């Protein structure tokens, strides 16, 4: 605020000049909207913020407040500010897993009327669902993401359709058959389990989101795959400590033939390992049950408006501008973040960035949400703690233990 205070010299000048316009106190200040989002490295967010401010013709300007890259750490910082009612936050780049929590805690404002219609227009159904909680919309779908199967076309003639087939194929390839996946005890392990469970026809929570489902057969099937993968000679010995980036690095080193990972590995391989990129193919995430297409976990960033914002109306407007088509195109082509507007997947420029655009859209259409509960952080911790390390999973005993752990997590009960 001190910047806008008139300096002594200005006051003196005003006193001399008398009633000149602009001297009659402060010039009307342009409302500044603070957009808290992860520190996007390409500068696409920065540019989108500038574009929207320019388009507003001086009604608002947007200032980015960069957050850490890891979703856990972003949440840690946001939650403290939001629960303390910090008015500095206007727009929040919300990971899809926070929707229920932020909505139930009253930290973000609901979207209604034309703003909501605009936010929903032409967006992928799964992306809208990720921003919804109890029939209401709590954020504007902005970017999305999901995993694909990446494989070596020079070693594998036809991509495997199921997990069992892939493990068999990899074992037959011997030394170079390694499968890269995410097995560390963190959010990525929960993502892996949720994808396997949904592909086997199960869900973590019952439809009311308040009680545990984890039906016996699908849960056991998912756990069977996890155990089989971890115990196979085709698994990387570093699987229990592998995150997305360890998997990417190992695949780029060239000794692996399969990888489960997000779309960012495509531009990365082209930049860092062109020899591997030449033989890099993509396919749908393997199914658990033959003939039943896989359902893969949805990721991405939606734009919420903080309940303590000083300019909520402007924040809704700005969020819709950031999430509009030109900026989704920008985030996709420059930042490599897949758009939530379905039609963009037919756009020539986007198809050049994502040569696998059709597969991506198809996977996103069938995507599964992670449990939509205010206690998601607890539930995720319960899942990853129970199922790590994957090689020690006992499909029968652990499905019971998992059900109990998730039940306690939903009650926010006891240590996990």
Partner 1 sequence: MSRRARDERRLAWLLCAPAVITMLVVTAYPTVYALWLSLFRYDLRFPGQRRFIGLDNYFSVLGSEAWWQALSNTLLITAGSVIFELVLGFAFALVMHRALVGRRIVRTALLVPYGIITVVAAMSWRFAFDPTTGFVNALLGLQGDWLATRGSAFFVILLTEIWKTTPFMALLLLAGLTLVPGDLLRAARVDGASGPQRFFRITLPLMRPVIVVALLFRTLDAFRIFDTVFVLTRGAQGTESVSIVGYDTLITRLNLGLGSAVSVLIFFCVLAIAAAYVRGLGIDLSRRMEP
- Minimum CB separation of residue 407 from partner 1 in Å reads 15
Residues 94-123: x where in contact with partner 1 by CB under 8 A, - otherwise, as a string: -------x--xx------------------
Half-sphere exposure of 312 (CA within 13 A, CB side): 14
The size of the chain, in residues, is: 416
**3 state SS of 301:** strand
Q: How far is the CB of 33 from partner 1 (least distance, A)?
A: 25
One residue of 44, 139, 204, 250 binding partner 1 per CB under 8 A: 250
The pair of structure tokens assigned to 123 is 């967006």
Show the binding pattern over residues 56-95: x = contacts partner 1 (CB under 8 A), - = does not. ----------------x---x--x---x------------
The verdict on 377 binding partner 1 (CB under 8 A) reads yes
Least separation in angstroms between CB 88 and partner 1: 18
306's CB contacts (< 8 A; 6+ apart) are: 82, 89, 90, 91, 92, 107, 108, 109, 315
**Is residue 55 a contact point for partner 1 (CB under 8 A)?**
no
Interface with partner 1 by CB under 8 A: which range of 158-166, 262-270, 312-320, 407-415?
407-415
Least CB distance from residue 240 to partner 1, whole Å?
4
Shortest CB 73 distance to partner 1, Å: 10
Q: What angle do CA 180, 173, 274 make, to 5 degrees?
A: 55
Among 186, 258, 282, 285, which residue interacts with partner 1 (rule: CB under 8 A)? Answer: 186
The DSSP bridge pattern shows strands 147-152 and 136-137 to be: unpaired
Q: To the nearest whole angstrom, how small is the minimum distance from the Cβ of residue 106 to partner 1?
A: 9
Please, what is the minimum distance in Å from the beta carbon of residue 105 to partner 1?
4
Q: Please give the DSSP secondary-structure letter assigned to residue 263.
A: T
Q: Is 238 in the site for partner 1 (CB under 8 A)?
A: yes
Helical residues (DSSP H) of 232-304, grouped into ranges: 244-252, 265-272, 274-277
Considering the rule CB under 8 A, would residue 240 count as an interface residue with partner 1? Answer: yes
Residues of span 252-271 touching partner 1 by CB under 8 A:
253
Asked if 244 is part of the footprint of partner 1 (rule: CB under 8 A), the reply reads no
Distances (CA, A) of 39 to 119, 178, 188, 319, 375: 23, 33, 20, 17, 26
Q: Give residue 310's region: left, alpha or beta (phi > 0; psi -120 to 50).
A: alpha
> How many CB atoms sit inside 10 A of residue 162's CB?
18
Binding site for partner 1 (CB under 8 A): 72, 76, 79, 83, 101, 104-105, 184-186, 237-241, 246, 249-250, 253, 374, 377-378, 381, 388-389, 412-416
């Amino acid at each position: 605020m001190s910047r806008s205070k008139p300096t002594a010299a200005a006051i003196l000048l005003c006193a001399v000049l008398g009633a000149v316009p602009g001297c009659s106190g402060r010039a009307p200040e342009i409302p500044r909207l603070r957009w808290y989002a992860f520190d996007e490295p390409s500068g696409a967010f920065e540019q989108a913020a500038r574009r929207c401010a320019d388009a507003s013709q001086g009604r608002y300007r947007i200032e980015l407040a960069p957050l850490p890259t890891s979703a856990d750490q972003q949440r840690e910082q946001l939650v403290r500010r939001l629960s303390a009612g910090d008015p500095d936050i206007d727009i929040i780049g919300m990971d899809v897993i926070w929707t229920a929590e932020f909505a139930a805690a009253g930290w973000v404002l609901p979207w209604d009327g034309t703003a909501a219609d605009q936010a929903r227009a032409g967006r992928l159904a799964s992306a809208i669902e990720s921003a919804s909680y109890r029939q209401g919309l709590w954020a504007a779908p902005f970017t999305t993401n999901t995993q694909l199967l990446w494989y070596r076309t020079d070693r594998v003639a036809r991509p495997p359709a199921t997990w069992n087939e892939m493990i068999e194929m990899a074992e037959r390839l011997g030394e170079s058959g390694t499968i890269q996946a995410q097995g560390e005890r963190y959010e990525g392990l929960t993502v892996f389990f949720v994808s396997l469970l949904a592909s086997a026809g199960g869900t973590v929570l019952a439809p009311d989101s308040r009680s545990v489902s984890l039906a016996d057969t699908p849960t056991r099937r998912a756990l069977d795959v996890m155990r089989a993968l971890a115990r196979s000679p085709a698994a990387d010995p570093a699987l229990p400590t592998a995150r997305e980036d360890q998997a990417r690095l190992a695949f780029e080193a060239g000794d692996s033939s399969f990888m489960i990972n997000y779309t960012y590995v495509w531009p990365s391989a082209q930049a860092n390992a062109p020899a591997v990129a030449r033989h890099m193919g993509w396919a749908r995430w393997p199914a658990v049950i033959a003939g039943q297409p896989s359902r893969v976990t949805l990721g991405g960033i939606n734009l919420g408006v903080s309940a303590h914002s000083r300019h909520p109306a402007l924040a809704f407007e700005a969020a819709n501008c950031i999430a509009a088509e030109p900026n989704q195109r920008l985030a996709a082509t420059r930042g490599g973040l897949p758009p939530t507007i379905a039609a963009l997947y037919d756009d020539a420029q986007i198809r050049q960035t994502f040569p696998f655009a059709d597969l991506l859209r198809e996977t996103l259409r069938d995507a599964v949400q992670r449990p939509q509960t205010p206690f998601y952080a607890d539930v995720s911790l319960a899942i990853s703690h129970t199922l790590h390390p994957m090689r020690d999973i006992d499909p029968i005993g652990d499905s019971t233990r998992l059900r109990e752990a998730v039940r306690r997590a939903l009650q926010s009960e006891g240590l996990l």
